[in-house]
Amino acid sequence: MANSEINEASLQSCLKELIDPVFQKPLSASGFLKGANVGEDGGVSIQIELPVPSYPLQSELSELIENAVRTAFPDCEGLKIEYSINIKGKNSGGRLGLNVKNVIAVGAGKGGVGKSTVAASLAFALKKYGARVGLVDADVYGPSIPHLVGTSEKPVAQEFQGKDGQTLTRIIPVEADGLKVMSMAFFVEPEQAVIWRGPMLHKAISQFLQDTEWGELDYLVIDMPPGTGDVSLTLSQLLDLAGAVVVCSPQQVALLDAVKAVQMFRQVKIPVLGIVENMSGDIFGRGGAQTKGEELQIPFLGEIPMNAEIREKSDVGNISQLVEADSESQACLLKVAENTAIEIARTLIENPIRPPLEIL
């Protein structure tokens, strides 16, 4: 196509078949390519819209675009690539009418593998990337999120004027280091929840999610109770979840529990986004989760080493610092969040949501 006239159409056709290095899809199919123009001075500008808050191979993508443009139009004057972010979402609000693009469940086959730690750091990491994030503690049997994020505040109720003039009472989530947080611990004593059976749990969780004033969110991260399927079933009936992140430690027994967690999510029709290996290192070994993920055909979202700083910071309610400040674990915690967002966007690129067909 060398030396053809440079204009919007010829630029589009030279770029649309390029394969982006992360999603491995042509730019036209992934919706990345938002615009391509030639200015009055002959300079070319390309607009790329990314569906994730953090895209790890941006310079590779820029190089690919530059090479394609320079090969097709050797005389091209200046070239500018402008990036913007528009987080893709399933609009997971479902029957609860929440204004949330993606609801992510964080689960584990058993307690003690660091599920709540991963859920909280995932929420803070997505926020650090610039996304609007909320964190829900639905681990009714052992709600630990308020402790991990260091809040002893209680949420307050506020009255709003509804569309039809009715007064609505909404709960304002607690803010912890800039993150909107809600926990079952704010409302019930743990001993009380332990005796709850399915229907009571269902009612409590739906009310607790529905009556909260979340505002607009890109991601709502839910820390699930370990093992049992009750809460997962409830959530899958109420919300169109983006998917579940399964946390496990590298020990064999924890891996077997992780397989159960994967099966449980699949049973209640919540897609599994991937598996995270937490506490990997000398004591428990490492790499088991990745192998298990491959066997189950589930993406591996990353590993978080066993690290004293993680335990220390979470014990004193400072988990946001692991992500915000330079910590030994910062890079791997950010990586897990980046990969999670990528897997969500991948599902949406591969199965685009079509607007409902209107039959007149």
274 is in an annotated binding site: no
Q: Among residues 148 and 270, whose Cβ is nearest to ligand ADP?
A: 148
Region class of 327: left (phi > 0), else alpha (psi between -120 and 50), else beta = beta
How far apart CA 253 and CA 126 sit, in angstroms, is: 30
Binding to ligand ADP (CB under 6 A) within 294-333 occurs at 304, 306-307, 310-311, 314-315
Beta bridge mates, 276: 247, 302
The residue with tokens 């959530």 is 235
* CA-only gyration radius of the chain, Å: 23
Contact between 111 and ligand ADP by CB under 6 A: the answer reads yes
Contact between 261 and ligand ADP by CB under 6 A: the answer reads no
H or E stretch covering 190: helix 190-194
The 3-state DSSP class for residue 332 equals helix
According to CB under 6 A, which one of 113, 184, 262, 341 is a site residue for ligand ADP? 113
Binding mask 39-68 for ligand ADP (x = CB under 6 A): ------------------------------
Nearest-CB residue for ligand ADP = 114
Contact in structure between 15 and 76 (CB atoms under 8 Å): no
Binding mask 133-172 for ligand ADP (x = CB under 6 A): -----------x----------------------------
According to CB under 6 A, which one of 125, 248, 279, 349 is a site residue for ligand ADP? 279
Which CA distances in Å does 341 have to 15, 50, 331?
A: 25, 11, 15
What minimum distance in Å lies between the beta carbon of 253 and ligand ADP?
14
Closest by CA to 136, choosing from 171, 112, 110, 162, is 171
Q: Among residues 14 and 224, whose Cβ is nearest to ligand ADP?
A: 224
Enumerate binding residues for ligand ADP (CB under 6 A).
108, 111-117, 144, 278-279, 304, 306-307, 310-311, 314-315
Binding-site positions for ATP: 109-116
